[in-house]
Amino acid sequence: MAKTMAVNVGSSSLKFQLLEMPAERVIANGVIERIGMDDAIVTIKYGEQRSAEQLAVHSEDNAHVTHTKNGKKYENILAIKDHQQAINFVLQQLTTLDIIQDFNEITGVGHRVVAGGEWFNHSVVVTDSVLEKIDRLSDYAPLHNPANAMGIRAFQKLLPNALSVAVFDTSFHQTMPKENYLYSLPYQYYTRYGARKYGAHGISHHYVSQRAAVMMNRNLSELKLITLHMGAGVSITAIEDGKSIDTSMGFSPLSGVTMATRSGDVDPSLVYYIQEHEGLSNDDMVNILNKKSGLLGISTISSDMRDLLDVQDTNDHAQLAVKIFVNRIVKYIGQYIAEMGGVDAIIFTAGIGENSIPVRQMIIERLSYFGIELDVEANNVRGQEVEISTAASRVKALLIPTNEELMIAREVESLK
Ligand code: ADP
């Protein structure tokens, strides 16, 4: 059966999942971190379920394979100088580990691309002109688009016969009406520079909205949904008729709610005020807003929600960070309910959404005024697709693990 690779290339990392399509069976997944370093870390998980746990079967230099109850795990630490070498290594390893016999088995490669601007409102087969546009959109996502383009070129070199598809994180939000995507700035900045809201996490919001309709046994076209993607990056989307009509992230992923290290919405004049008083360059300030703010900035101890929840009873800063996080989300939900004139379901996904029982509880309890009621017992789970509101609840609360890789593989399949 044909195999499709779903790829997510970051500035120093490469994540992939290999799926048998159209059966949608995951054959392997993996990650290379610290690309460009002498001690890059490679992890590949593959194989069928095994009963023996942690049984080492092969070990050589830094490389080793262990059997776990979920299959096999290959791990290695080695020097990887760039993305091309990372991709060469992964493909080579897929054959060495007998996951594939021949590169030609991989008939499609879908790449997550962060910024698609107004040019891409759906996934496309990569051509020279598509690649050129992805390059030109690097202004909008300077850390991501160049890496995405590099990944596409590197895979094309090694798998020239595979269909190469770009799946954009912004496409799903291209349905937003102008009154929602435009900032209240002089109009010429929009026409000159495309200064507007593009949103992000579109692949995830799209996936969980489709799953929600299946779980609710309703047509997407008749539903009003609010999807909460709460990972290290957090974004909230209002979805009507299966289409994104508003989202909390903006021109870049910096705006909206409080995130792990990103500030979310801030009065722009405050940014200049702080810069002036602290003598910070533009780059320094952008770095503070992206990397030193959010949960980390407020709590001063950690960007990880788990750490904050662990100490919030004894640490005022941690408690405040959690409160602000929940509060900002509740406010956006209120806005979107007003905007859509109601809501049928609220969906929780990504790291915090899938795993944090108390955060889901805190959010839902603040929303009881419009008839949503938490089923405390049903909510006591992690990472499963499940309804977490009571049967009597007028508005449903759903926990839906996201699956961006599957969505990417489906997009490749639809363009074959
Ligand atoms: P990314 O945006 O990098 O893809 P993830 O979706 O993997 O991030 O989410 C990572 C975040 O999920 C971590 O920063 C952590 O705060 C949060 N997280 C993971 N597990 C838990 C948990 N059990 N409780 C609370 N937060 C969790």
DSSP per position, 327-368: HHHHHHHHHHHHHHT--SEEEEEHHHHHH-HHHHHHHHHTTG
pLDDT at 52: 36
Cβ contacts of 324 within 8 Å, gap of 6 or more = 258, 298
Residue of 87, 210, 76, 218 whose CA lies nearest to 158: 87
360 CA from centroid of ligand 1 (Å): 13
Residue 114, pLDDT > 60, answer yes
Task: Assign 148 a pLDDT band (cuts: 50, 70, 90).
Answer: very high
pTM for this predicted structure: 0.94
Indicate the class that CATH gives domain 218-399: alpha beta
Task: Assign 61 a pLDDT band (cuts: 50, 70, 90).
Answer: low
Residue 34's Cβ-count burial label (10 Å; 0-12, 13-18, 19+) is middle
231 CA from centroid of ligand 1 (Å): 5
CA–CA separation, 2 vs 408, rounded Å? 15
pLDDT at 45: 95
Pocket of ligand 1 (CB under 6 A): 231-233, 260, 304-306, 350-352, 355-356
Packing angle of the helix pair 404-414, 202-216 (nearest 10 deg): 90
pLDDT-above-90 percentage for the chain = 92
Among 290, 356, 404, name the best residue to mutate to test ligand 1's pocket (greatest count of ligand atoms within 8 A of Cβ): 356
pLDDT digits (tens, 9 = 90+) for 85-108: 999 999 999 999 999 999 999 999
Q: What is the CA radius of gyration of the chain?
A: 22
Between the alpha carbon of residue 25 and those of residues 18, 20, 78, 208, the distances in Å are 9, 5, 30, 19
Between the alpha carbon of residue 211 and those of residues 215, 218, 338, 370, 402, the distances in Å are 6, 10, 24, 23, 9
pLDDT digits (tens, 9 = 90+) for 338-382: 999 999 999 999 999 999 999 999 999 999 999 999 999 999 999
- With tokens 């390893």, the residue in question is 93
pLDDT at 50: 43
Query: Averaged over 119-136, what is the pLDDT?
Result: 97
Query: Averaged over 14-19, what is the pLDDT?
Result: 96
**Are domains 2-168 and 218-399 of this chain identical in fold?**
yes
pLDDT digits (tens, 9 = 90+) for 160-192: 999 999 999 999 999 999 999 999 999 999 999
CA–CA separation, 295 vs 324, rounded Å? 9
pLDDT-above-70 percentage for the chain = 97
305 CA from centroid of ligand 1 (Å): 7
Helix (H) or strand (E) holding 96: helix 83-96
* Pairing mode of beta strands 396-399, 386-387: antiparallel
pLDDT at 68: 75
Query: Averaged over 13-26, what is the pLDDT?
Result: 95
311 - beta bridge partners?
none
Between the alpha carbon of residue 108 and those of residues 97, 125, 163, 185, the distances in Å are 20, 10, 4, 42
CA–CA separation, 236 vs 282, rounded Å? 28
C-alpha dihedral sign at 171, 20, 17, 143:
negative
Task: Assign 60 a pLDDT band (cuts: 50, 70, 90).
Answer: low
CA–CA separation, 75 vs 393, rounded Å? 46
Task: Assign 62 a pLDDT band (cuts: 50, 70, 90).
Answer: confident
Task: Assign 67 a pLDDT band (cuts: 50, 70, 90).
Answer: confident
Q: Is 169 a catalytic residue?
A: yes
Question: Could you say which of 102, 135, 169, 310 is catalytic?
Answer: 169
304 CA from centroid of ligand 1 (Å): 7
Nearest protein Cα to ligand 1, atom 23? 355
Task: Assign 35 a pLDDT band (cuts: 50, 70, 90).
Answer: very high
pLDDT digits (tens, 9 = 90+) for 258-272: 999 999 999 999 999
pLDDT at 56: 40
Architecture of the structural domain at 2-168: 2-Layer Sandwich (3.30)
Residue of 279, 315, 268, 275 whose CA lies nearest to 295: 315
pLDDT at 10: 86
Q: Spell out the domain ranges in the chain.
A: 2-168, 218-399
User: Which atom of ligand 1 is found nearest the CA of 230?
Assistant: 6
Q: Compare 63 and 240 and report the one with higher pLDDT.
A: 240
